[in-house]
Structure 1
Amino acid sequence: MEHPPYRLAEELDRFLGDPNDPGEVFTYARCVELDDNEEFPADIVRRFQEWGLPDHYVPVEYGGRLRDYEQVLQLVRTVARRDMTCAIGHAKTYLGGVCVWVAGSAEQGAALGADIMAGVPVSLGLTEREHGSDLLATEVRTDEKASDTEDHWLVSGEKWLINNATRGSVLSLLTRTRPDGGPRGLSVLLVDKRELDEDTFRHLPKIRTHGIRGADISGIAFDGARVPRSALVGAEGAGLEIVLKALQITRAMVSALSLGAGDHGLRLALDFAEERELYGRRLIDLPQARKVLAGAAADVLMHEAVSMVAARAVQAQTAELSVTSAVTKYLLPTSTDQVLADLKGLLGARAFLKGVYADGRFQKLERDHRLVGLFDGNTLVNLNSLINQFRSLVRGFGRGTGDTAGSDVACDLGAPLPPLDPSKLSLVARHGSGIMAGLAASVDEINRRVALDSALAPVAEAAQRLLAVTTAVHAEMEEYKSVLTEVPPAAYEVACRYALCWAGAACLGLWTHSSDHVRDDPDTGALWREGLWLHTVLDRLLVRLGEPAVAGQETYEGLLGALRAARSSGRLFSLLPQRGPERQPATPEVAAHETERTS
């Protein structure tokens, strides 16, 4: 299957060259060196600019190339697969622009888009030293005397723990414009530091972090900085709502970082297992090593499936993104952390050491990825967002409501996506989840296919089990559907279970809607035929939900065989074919990109 977001990501990967070639700029060894020196990867970022990566952070209506949010996902995943610091440091510009894409004026969008495509770093100023994730407690403010100033705001206060706070020239800033306005007292200003009096702001020192050591994690303090009134994004007092809606989009995109980390970690562990010999036997031949690798492979494919559905849902199921983004942002970072922890056991001491195996990349990868769970709302913030929606989710599941048409489009990789309509973003999925509402139909579809292919019977049984567990989880959610404050720990456990059920429903939807597009592909068709990847994914999810296993070791052996076949052919282990470095015929999207870039 020709899937344009994957083909475009391959084109970027080819442009960046072999990461093991010392003659290239973006190499594994170079990234380890930069990490040791806590140095920003400026030379690598210039290569992204040469290819035109920033163009894909800007929507087409503002002059950029962003028309499909899965393209952003796959491009950032490609960078993260090589190095997390580079991905986090560069993709922050995309995150910094989303408030404008959601609520800004056409003039703001065009100006910001031109800056981004010219390589100007952009940042998102939300958090403060004393308040962390509590955006309602924001203290950065406009002085009261600014009300007498017709054409400017006077901004004071400090934002801290901000990615690209020092490097960035433009900042989407959440600030308090009405001291006594409560949630409606916050606004977003698009602050251009190049236009500020240098005496009215200062950069805070770079913060030394355990992971992503080379990233610009710092802060910025304002002291009566004069910001034009035209910098207001959207309506005055709508800042919190704008930010929360923008975060729904960015949380779905942050999964690209976890995808890249999973790709990298799985490949490192597999290479080690294939090469390592002890007492005349290779590590890959030991049953426990095979079990760990196959389990990690199933998790990596589950993450890929969930993230693809979530990225497509940005456009196809926009009104339900409050659920989709919270599930994705909770599930992928926490689950990828566990994958890396499992794989660490295979590498043993070499997972902790530098300069012993693979340039010490595994220890760097694990350190870097631990921070992903903190970005754009931490784990508890996202689980709490789900808990706040329990009432509508329970009601929608009971009635079978939700955007099932949008869910079908999100799960069908052959279906065209509608343009993003930011006006559809909502803080609550009022009618429930279309992904969950479509679960029963997916189960029925698999049962129908069993009559045509009896090999699908175990998958159909697993799907039926997931439907039963999902129904039980919604019954558990009933108890907490009125909880708004002082959320009990048990409610968070139920939210975790809901996220696992949602992931299973998304994977079932993806398989039932897309398998016919992919099953005949010579590279990845074996993963789709007889539901191989789906069977192992459902098994992993059901076990985490406290259910008995539904897949035997022979099924996992089949998945391990596919993993090893991808390695031997130089392909990425993936749900869709990822070709090697040889030049392939370009799709129209890739050809157009290459033409524009070279011209």
Structure 2
Amino acid sequence: MDRLLPTPEAYELLDLTRELADGELAPRVDDFEARGEFPREVIRTVGRAGLLGLPYPEEVGGSGQPYEVYLQALEILAGRWLAVAEAVSVHTLSCFPVYAHGGEQLRKFLPDMLGGELLGAYCLSEPQGGSDAASLTTKAVQDGEAYVVSGTKAWITHAGRADFYNVFCRTGGPGPQGISCLLVDAATPGIAALAREKTMGLRSSPVAQLAFDGVRVPADRLVGTLGSGFRIAMAALDAGRLGIAACAVGLAQAALDYAVSYAREREQFGRSILDFQGIRFMLADAATGVAAARALMLSAARLKDAGRPYSAEAAKAKLFATDTAMKVTTDAVQVLGGYGYVADHPVERYMREAKVLQIVEGTNQIQRLVIAKSL
């Protein structure tokens, strides 16, 4: 598809992303998804190609690209292998607290984070507090030159596989003002990844609860200031929601492309099913939805790039793009009929994967609350 990009370098970058996605991701996705194996080396390859640090400045190890370019690269990855694109999105989100709020002691880790040698995870949700993040109960008590962390985090992408965790924990009283953020080395004694969740889709992406049992974290691993954790978390999620919107657009585009290709070749009643108005209109609606979702996503990204408020626009993009992905992937299955329901074709996987995008980085009901509050 035609893309309007801000620089000639951006076109080259997306060409490189497409080449890597076609060569390294597309041939492997079915095998890794079937086995439920996390593609750590593939993600390391993505990192070494410079795709894990796209929106961060070159002086800290990033690629210095506008957010709108990063999101379009993420869209391409998602169209080949959603679990890898989600890993890139989660990792990019995990680097934000250190980049935006970490002092010199923490920012020294950024080159390895952004280069793909260190993989991150974002630990905000808890078993009893998903959408209500301000009620989290994981505690960090200061003991000399360390914080002692105890509690359980839930729905953690890369649990047990990440090299570092952003852990949001309670260091003060109740409410959001009592929450702080710690950068925790995954090898620290006392951290245990519990049994992997048996997920509907994204089976090559490990998701599990993380238990912290008296984990001692050096005091200089505090990100920002005491009590600033909730603000850091919400700022990170604004950007992360655009990452999920990009994943949704890429997935929906892949489903649409496959459905169109199938409809062109499949014959019934002596002609291609693409000639039937019922199919043509379904695909026309899907193409319109994908284009609208992409436009919303890029509009919000350009606000972010310009330093303008974009929280509500990110929520709109995430809401619309993920709802669109769910509809387009469901319709793609319908276009294929019985063949859409079997694993011989990727659209059944696309449909299973689309569902989680309506849930992560704030459910779509939460997005509606954010949007309504902004009116």
Q: TM-score per shorter chain, which class?
A: over 0.9
2:341 aligned residue (352, 375, 379): 352
Counterpart of 2:201 in 1: which secondary structure? Answer: coil
TM-score, normalised via structure 1 length: 0.59
Give yes or no for the alignment of 1:248 onto 2:246.
Answer: no
Alignment correspondent of 2:179: 186
Q: Distance in 2 between matches of 1:292 and 1:65?
A: 39
Contact 1:124 1:163 in 2 (8 A): yes
Match of 1:142 in 2: 140
Q: Distance in 1 between matches of 2:299 and 2:117?
A: 30
Count of equivalent residues: 370
Q: Which of the numbers 83, 88, 94 marks the counterpart of 1:90? A: 88
Partners of 1:170 and 1:59 in 2: CA distance: 21
Q: How many angstroms does 1:317 deviate by?
A: 4.7
Unaligned runs of 5+ in 1: 391-599
Alignment of 1:360-371 (within 5 A): 360-371=345-356
- Aligned partners of 1:54 and 1:119 also within 8 Å: no
Give the residue type in structure 1 aligned to 2:13.
Answer: L
Q: Deviations over 1:66-107 (max 9, x none)?
A: 341112201111110101112113332111112223322244
Contact 1:62 1:106 in 2 (8 A): no
Change (3 A) 1:208 1:2: closer
- The answer to which structure has the higher helix fraction is 1
Q: What is the CA deviation profile of residues 203-222 of structure 1, one whole-angstrom value per residue up to 9, with x for unaligned ones?
A: 11111101101101112111
**Which of 283, 287, 292 lines up with 1:297 in the alignment?**
287
TM-score by length of 2: 0.93
1:109 deviates by 2.5
**Contact kept in structure 1, 2:99 and 2:110, CA below 8 Å:** no
Query: 1:208 maps to what in 2?
Result: 198
- Within the alignment, does 1:262 sit opposite 2:249 as a pair? no
Amino acid in structure 2 at the alignment position of 1:166: G
Map of 1:124 onto structure 2:
122
Q: Post-superposition shift, 1:121? A: 0.6
Counterpart contact for 1:66–1:72, Cα < 8 Å: no
Report deviation, 1:181: 4.1
Instruction: Give the equivalent residue in structure 1 for 2:25.
Output: 26
TM-aligned CA distance change 1:333 to 1:2, over 3 Å = closer
User: Shift of residue 380 of structure 1?
Assistant: 1.1
The correspondence for 2:69, drawn from 71, 95, 99, is 71
Distance in 2 (alpha carbons) for counterparts of 1:61 and 1:243: 24
Give the direction of change, closer, same or farther, for the CA distance of 1:307–1:174 in structure 2 (3 Å limit): same
Deviation per CA, 1:426-483: give whole Å up to 9, x if none. Answer: xxxxxxxxxxxxxxxxxxxxxxxxxxxxxxxxxxxxxxxxxxxxxxxxxxxxxxxxxx
Matches within 5 A, 1:514-525: none
Question: Which amino acid in structure 1 is aligned with residue 284 of structure 2?
Answer: A
How many angstroms apart in 2 are the aligned matches of 1:312 and 1:101? 20
Q: Relative to total residues, which structure has the larger strand share, 1 or 2? A: 2
Q: CA deviation at 1:236?
A: 0.4
**Corresponding residue to 1:316 among 301, 306, 314:** 306
Q: Which amino acid aligns with 1:212?
A: L
Deviation at 1:248, TM superposition (A): 1.1
- What code does the residue aligned with 1:27 have? A
> Secondary structure of the equivalent of 2:117?
coil
Q: Distance in 2 between matches of 1:176 and 1:209?
A: 29
Q: Could you tell me which residue of structure 1 aligns to residue 33 of structure 2?
A: 35
SS of 1:53's equivalent in the other structure is: coil
Equivalent-residue separation in structure 1 for 2:84 and 2:158 (angstroms): 12
Superposed displacement of residue 2, structure 1 = 5.7
Aligned to 1:376: 361
RMSD: 1.8
Counterpart of 1:304 in 2: which secondary structure?
Answer: helix
1:252–1:324 CA contact under 8 A, matched in 2: no
Q: What does residue range 414-429 of structure 1 map to in structure 2 within 5 Å?
A: none
Aligned residue runs from structure 1 range 508-519, under 5 A: none
Answer whether contact 1:102 1:246 (CA < 8 A) is retained: no
Change (3 A) 1:2 1:309: closer
Deviations 1:242-277 (A, max 9, x none): 111121111122211011111100110000111001
Structure 1 residue 44: deviation in Å?
A: 2.6
Q: Is residue 2:2 matched to residue 1:12?
A: no
Structure 1 pair 166–311 and aligned structure 2 pair: CA distance change class (3 A): same
Mapping for residues 326-345 of structure 1, pairs under 5 Å: 326-345=315-334
User: Does the aligned pair in 2 maintain the 1:184–1:237 contact within 8 Å?
Assistant: yes
- For residues 55 and 313 of structure 1, the distance between their equivalents in structure 2, rounded to whole angstroms, comes to 20
On the 8 A contact 2:135/2:175 being kept in 1, the answer is no
Q: Secondary structure at the match of 1:291?
A: helix
Unaligned runs of 5+ in 2: none
Question: Structure 1: how far apart are the matches of 2:365 and 2:59?
Answer: 35
Specify the SS of the correspondent of 2:337. Answer: helix
Going from structure 1 to structure 2, the CA distance change for 1:50 and 1:246 (only over 3 Å counts) comes to closer
Cα deviation, 1:9-37, whole Å, max 9, x if unaligned, reads: 12221244xx4xxxx54235x31121111
In the TM superposition, what is the alpha-carbon distance from 1:59 to its structure 2 partner?
A: 3.1
Contact 1:89 1:216 in 2 (8 A): no
Q: Which moved more, 1:215-224 or 1:338-347?
A: 338-347
Give the AA of the match of 2:180: S
Change over 3 Å in CA distance of 1:64–1:301 after alignment to 2: same
- For residues 187 and 133 of structure 1, the distance between their equivalents in structure 2, rounded to whole angstroms, comes to 18
Q: Which has the larger radius of gyration?
A: 1
Partner of 2:150: 156
Task: Give the letter aligned to residue 123 of structure 1.
Answer: A
CA distance in 2 between partners of 1:2 and 1:112 (Å): 27
2:166/2:181 contact within 8 Å kept: yes
1:116: how far off? 3.2
8 A Cα contact 1:95 1:250, kept in partner: yes
The partner residue of 1:228 within 218, 228, 232 is 218
> 1:114 deviation in Å?
2.8
> What secondary structure sits across from 1:370 in the alignment?
helix
Decide whether the 8 Å contact of 2:61 with 2:114 is kept in 1: no
Compared CA separation, residues 281 and 118, structure 1 to 2 (3 A): closer
Shift of residue 43 of structure 1?
4.1
Contact 1:162 1:219 in 2 (8 A): yes
The Cα offsets for residues 106-152 of structure 1, whole Å up to 9 and x where unpaired, read as 44233233333142110100111112121121111013xx3xx3311
Shift in Å, 1:315 = 1.9
Code of the residue aligned with 2:230 in structure 1: it is: L
